[in-house]
Amino acid sequence: MDEFRIGMIGYKFMGKAHSEAYRSVPMYFPDTPKPIMKVICGRDGAAVAQAAKQFGWEESVTDWQELLKRDDIDVIDINAPSDAHKDIAIAAARAGKHVFCEKPLALSLADSREMLAVAEEAGIKHMIGFNYRYAPAVQLAKKLVADGRLGQIYHFRSNFLQDWILDPEFPLVWRLQKSIAGSGSHGDLGAHLIDMARFLVGEFSEVMGMSETFIKERPIASAMTGLSGAKVGKDAPRGAVDVDDATLFLTRFENGALGSFEATRFAAGHRCTNSFEINGSKGSVKFDFERMNELQVYFMDDAEDVQGFRRVLATDPAHAYMDHWWPAGHTIGYGQTFTHEVVELMEALKEDRQPAPNFVDGVKCQEVLEAVERSIDERRWVQISEM
């Protein structure tokens, strides 16, 4: 097929990111099947109609179940809050629609496994949104590891640091409510680190973690305006924060490598520091998404007098996806990682294969997330095989 018709549920932060990606594919990847932006869905009729006009969707609806009944929809894109993922994805799969779901896959490992089982039974294609895999510099790191140019991998260390809820008077938005988000920084930020580690190094064997909620109560918002925006009335009542503000954990990978992970929203001065370092017997790489076009690379076999980390600007056509963008040396941004993600989805649908990452990766990530939570609760090392 030369095109696939999309029905998208969600229209705020991720809805805008996905919409930009769908619009970019035909311009920059003309040989990739075209995503047709048919219908966008959201609960607020006026707001979702405005989003449809702004983002470029043909029409808008307020009931996601309408999308499943339509013959002119091939793919259901789910970027609504996390508590909605399971019901929509299962219903979509049973209706024979392919599913592209933002992370985390669900609020629990059991729900994630059910989603995967239904998707496999239905025979649909399924994808989960771990967009950071699709930065060209990350793809380069993957290639260096896979080709053995870093040798045996000894360490993977990573952190995802933000500071947007440092103010104790910042309101109790949905990402700070366990019933909607599932967890705090651990499931929101840590999930990306876990997926990156699996993508680059391999499967986890065991974990041990610790976490903290620094601000126990926050004012309740009277209205929400997106990811971090909210309105708080004067003398607003306060509600309990029942998710983590910060989670740290250690791991041992199945291949013997060691790993350390830190996810927090209380790191002053860090807007979006999503970084990792890999150390191997032949060299190392370092990456920070705040400088997403760069990969720091070190090789042990360099001459002694010039040894040191080199800055590789991953913008030349030699790097993944870059031959579709600008002349060499011209950088790309956050939005392009979603474009690359959609390219993978469209190509997988055309080739009748599962895209990567998919619901299997979502389940694997959830296994690690919940193993860390069990470790925190029981104050011990937890084997992934226990989950």
Q: Which two tokens mark 169?
A: 């008077």
What pLDDT does residue 233 have? Answer: 65
pLDDT per residue as tens digits for the range 150-175: 999 999 999 999 999 999 999 988 88
pLDDT per residue as tens digits for the range 329-372: 999 999 999 999 999 999 999 999 999 999 999 999 999 999 99
| Cα–Cα distance, 359 to 120 (Å, whole number) | 9
pLDDT < 50 stretches in the chain: none
| Cα–Cα distance, 185 to 247 (Å, whole number) | 7
Chain position carrying tokens 């989805």 = 345
What pLDDT does residue 223 have? Answer: 62
What pLDDT does residue 271 have? Answer: 92
pTM of the predicted protein model: 0.95
Q: Please, are residues 245 and 265 in contact by the beta-carbon 8 Å criterion?
A: yes
Strand partners, 283: 299
Read off the amino acid at residue 23.
R
What pLDDT does residue 174 have? Answer: 83
Q: Please, are residues 57 and 41 in contact by the beta-carbon 8 Å criterion?
A: no
